[in-house]
């Protein structure tokens, strides 16, 4: 009997790992997801709250908890019936759980390079899914406990919609009731949804929902995939599937992967990924067809070409971006809140044009990342609690961005192109990630780290990297850029050996 790991990767001829499916959103029998509203405070008789929060994701719950803990009455309404929004349901957490499993599997493949003999490793997609579901279930349970432990927070699994700028109608999915509530302040954190292409056959594609949703139903992976879009999701999924042995092709409309990110970063990452993934840039996908004998054909037009090209694979996965969730059902027009297709318009304190209505997270279209949503939510909470104040501000350009490919990539602050747009002269310095002891011990692909430095102030304005532990490096890079450190100041700091963080002070001392 083979031994099963907790990640769904079996070593030797093992049996499949199955976790009990319990809790989470959408399971009426669950002690952890639905039914939260029935366990907690009953709605106040006057239906008036200090704060109403629409959406329980990263943009919603930090402000809800912050104000409840400050003694305010808070109503938090979420469609899914728990905290975490899309990030926990089908985004960050499940995708990184799957990635963790596959990273372990990939490491086992390379065991001999580390002096180990591991025979018969086998990755079972259903077991990996079970591991992923287990992580999601655990976090849903934890969030339920957090809700229960927070006085003055009323949580409802339901949908909220504005009747006007003060009144919100809440449809309670558990009680089947509709209640009109009012809020002194209202925070909109309704998130985002996957973009769709208006091309024939787009509905045939899978997206992150099929791959990562809690209790998803995809039983097995095809032998080959075509991924449309080489942004965050496209590259992360391509990297994972290629490591599972799936023949992977990525088609990207722009002339580079990760358009908008530092161009050198994008090109170095693409070069490394080319070893195991076919990446074709400059191709706009314009049709997807199901083949009679099984599988799919994708048709795309290369820049400047008159004839389309065609590719075939067992499955097509779309990753063409996300757009703020601005459904008319939210009632933004009734509330008089200004928005554009790019998102709800807010100032740096997350206030909309209606002074007591705030918005945070993906619904604002700014930096559509979980930690950015949390930050926006905190900024809104500060501003609500300290209306005259010295309140906090949200700065999208400082948000660390991490791409969890193999190897990882990260980007914080300005690129050279951004500096040019802002009219600030900069210079760049870089160092190979491969010269650090940590990278060599980990037998990683080399990659690089570079700093974008202002010629006017000497401050480090941006840091971009590809290579081992790059996602972790982004946290320190964020501090460096946020604090406006100069290379001299950074060079006087010490980072532990042998970690990849040493690259910061070594590069800084060379400037
Ligand atoms: C596959 C994938 C991987 C990702 N990986 C990462 C990552 O590694 N790191 C990272 O930082 N970010 C990642 N993201 C992005 C991250 O998930 C989002 O930035 C984050 O979830 C945004 O939080 P939010 O609160 O704004 O919105 P959401 O998480 O979308 O939450 C909004 C919530 O509001 C609810 N809602 C909407 N309308 C209503 C209504 N009218 N009434 C009641 N409830 C409503 C929704 O059901 C949802 O639960 C990933 C996204 C995807 C799709
Ligand atoms: N690690 C992370 O932090 C992480 C991981 C996953 C997702 N996310 C978040 O989720 C968002 C959505 O991810 P995503 O990858 O779907 O979006 P994205 O915006 O990162 O990338 C979408 C890509 O699809 C391409 N595209 C659009 N139409 C096309 C067409 N017709 N043919 C070929 N290519 C086309 C675009 O040029 C773009 O490069 C990200 O922007 C990010 O905010 C973050």
Domain boundaries, the chain: 48-193+324-385, 202-320, 407-509
Superfamily of domain 407-509: FAD/NAD-linked reductase, C-terminal dimerisation domain (3.30.390.30)
**Sign of the alpha-carbon dihedral angle for 422, 423, 426, 430:** positive
CA of 98 to the centre of ligand 1 (A): 18
pLDDT for the residue 217:
85
**Cα 93 to middle of ligand 1, angstroms:** 11
**Spatial separation of the C-alpha atoms in residues 380 and 385, rounded to whole Å:** 9
- 28-49 as b/e: b if 16+ CB within 10 A: eebebbbbbbeebeebeeeeeb
Ligand 2, atom 19, residue with closest C-alpha: 321
Question: CATH topology for 202-320?
Answer: FAD/NAD(P)-binding domain (3.50.50)
414 neighbors 96 (Cβ within 8 angstroms)? no
Ligand 1 pocket test: which of 55, 65, 394 has the largest number of ligand atoms within 8 Å of its C-beta? 55
Among 15, 300, 354, which Cα is nearest to 184's? 354
Q: Is the pLDDT of residue 256 over 70?
A: yes
Identify the residues whose C-beta falls under 6 Å from ligand 1.
Answer: 54-60, 77-80, 85-87, 91-92, 95-96, 159-161, 189-192, 208, 212, 233, 325, 330, 361-363, 368-371, 373, 404
Model confidence at 15: pLDDT above 50: no
Q: What is the pLDDT of residue 216?
A: 83
Give mean pLDDT, residues 100-128. Answer: 95
182-240 pLDDT per residue, tens:
999 999 999 999 999 999 999 999 999 999 999 988 999 999 999 999 999 999 999 99
Domain 48-193+324-385, CATH:
3.50.50.60
Ligand 2 interacting residues, C-beta cut-off 6 A: 197, 228-234, 236, 251-254, 259, 284-285, 319-322, 368-369, 402-404
Instruction: Please report the pLDDT score of residue 388 as a whole number.
Output: 79
Q: How far is the CA of 274 from the centre of ligand 2 (A)?
A: 19
Mean pLDDT (whole number) for 255-271: 97
pLDDT for 25:
63
Categorize the per-residue pLDDT at 30 as very low, low, confident or very high, splitting at 50, 70 and 90. very low
For atom 45 of ligand 1, the residue with the nearest CA is: 55
From CA 77, how far away is CA 186, in angstroms rounded? 11
Structure token pair of residue 197:
């292409």
Question: Would you say the CATH fold of 202-320 matches that of 48-193+324-385?
Answer: yes
User: What residue owns the CA closest to ligand 2's atom 1?
Assistant: 403
Active-site residue among 107, 274, 356, 497?
497
Q: What is the mean pLDDT of residues 79-94?
A: 97
264-322, pLDDT tens digit by residue? Answer: 999 999 999 999 999 999 999 999 999 999 999 999 999 889 999 999 999 999 999 99
Of 421, 426, 414, the residue nearest 462 (C-alpha)? 414
Tell me the ipTM for this assembly.
Answer: 0.98
Average pLDDT, the chain: 91
- Token digits of residue 333: 């027009």
Distance 316 CA to ligand 1 centre (A): 23
Predicted pLDDT at 26? 44
pLDDT at 39: 39
Average pLDDT over residues 466-486: 98
Q: Per the annotation, where are the binding residues?
A: 96, 229-236, 252, 321, 362, 368-371
Q: How confident is the model at residue 387 (pLDDT cuts 50, 70, 90)?
A: confident
* pLDDT attached to residue 340: 98
- Residue 46: its pLDDT value, please? 61
CA of 354 to the centre of ligand 2 (A): 31
Q: Which atom of ligand 1 is nearest to the CA of 58?
A: 25
pLDDT confidence tier of residue 24, bands split at 50, 70 and 90: low
Active site residue 497: yes
pLDDT digits (tens, 9 = 90+) for 428-462: 999 999 999 999 999 998 899 999 999 999 999 99
- What is the distance between the alpha carbons of residues 410 and 473, in angstroms, rounded to a whole number? 8
Higher pLDDT, 41 or 303: 303
């Amino acid at each position: 009997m083979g031994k099963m790991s907790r990640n769904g990767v079996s070593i030797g001829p093992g049996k499949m790992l199955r976790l009990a499916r319990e809790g989470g959103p959408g399971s009426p029998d669950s002690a952890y997801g639905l039914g939260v509203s029935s366990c907690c405070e009953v709605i106040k008789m006057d239906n008036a709250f200090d704060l109403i929060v629409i959406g329980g994701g990263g943009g919603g719950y930090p402000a809800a908890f912050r104000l409840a803990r400050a003694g305010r009455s808070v109503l938090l309404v979420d469609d899914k019936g728990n905290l975490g929004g899309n990030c926990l349901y089908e985004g960050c957490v499940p995708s990184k759980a799957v990635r963790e499993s596959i990273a372990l599997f990939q490491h086992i493949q390379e065991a001999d390079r580390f002096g180990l003999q591991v025979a018969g490793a086998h990755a079972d997609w259903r077991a990996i899914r079970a591991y992923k579901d287990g992580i999601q279930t655990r976090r849903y349970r934890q969030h339920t406990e957090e809700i229960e432990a927070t006085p003055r927070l009323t949580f409802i699994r339901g949908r909220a919609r504005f009747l006007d700028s003060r009144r919100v109608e809440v449809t309670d999915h558990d009680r089947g009731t509709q209640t009109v509530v009012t809020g002194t302040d209202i925070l909109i954190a309704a998130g985002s949804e996957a973009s769709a292409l208006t091309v024939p056959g787009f509905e045939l594609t899978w997206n992150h929902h099929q791959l990562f949703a809690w209790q998803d139903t995809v039983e097995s992976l095809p032998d080959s995939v075509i991924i449309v879009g080489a942004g965050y999701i496209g590259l992360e999924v391509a990297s994972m599937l290629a490591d599972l042995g799936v023949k992977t092709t990525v088609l990207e409309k722009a002339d580079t992967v990760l358009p908008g990110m530092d161009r050198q970063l994008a090109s170095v990452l693409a070069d490394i990924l080319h070893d195991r993934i076919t990446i074709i840039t400059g191709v706009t996908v314009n049709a997807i067809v199901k083949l009679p004998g099984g599988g799919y054909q994708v048709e795309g037009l290369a820049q400047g070409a008159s004839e389309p090209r065609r590719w075939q694979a067992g499955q097509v996965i779309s990753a063409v971006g996300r757009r703020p969730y601005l459904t008319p059902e939210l009632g933004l027009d009734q509330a008089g809140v200004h928005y554009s297709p790019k998102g709800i318009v807010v100032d740096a304190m997350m206030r909309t044009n209606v002074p007591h209505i705030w918005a945070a997270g993906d619904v604002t279209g700014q930096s559509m990342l979980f930690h950015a949503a949390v930050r926006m939510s905190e900024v809104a909470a500060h501003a609500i609690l300290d209306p005259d104040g010295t309140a906090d501000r949200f700065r999208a350009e400082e948000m660390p961005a991490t791409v969890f490919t193999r190897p990882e990539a990260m980007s914080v602050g300005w690129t050279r192109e951004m500096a040019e747009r802002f009219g600030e002269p900069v210079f760049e310095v870089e160092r190979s990630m491969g010269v650090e002891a940590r990278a060599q011990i980990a037998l990683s692909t080399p990659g690089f780290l570079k700093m974008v430095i202002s010629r006017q102030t000497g401050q480090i304005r941006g840091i971009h990297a590809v290579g081992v532990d790059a996602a972790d490096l982004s946290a320190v890079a964020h501090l460096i850029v946020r604090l406006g450190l100069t290379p001299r100041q950074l060079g006087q700091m010490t980072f532990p050996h042998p970690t990849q963080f040493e690259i910061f002070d070594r590069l800084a001392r060379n400037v």
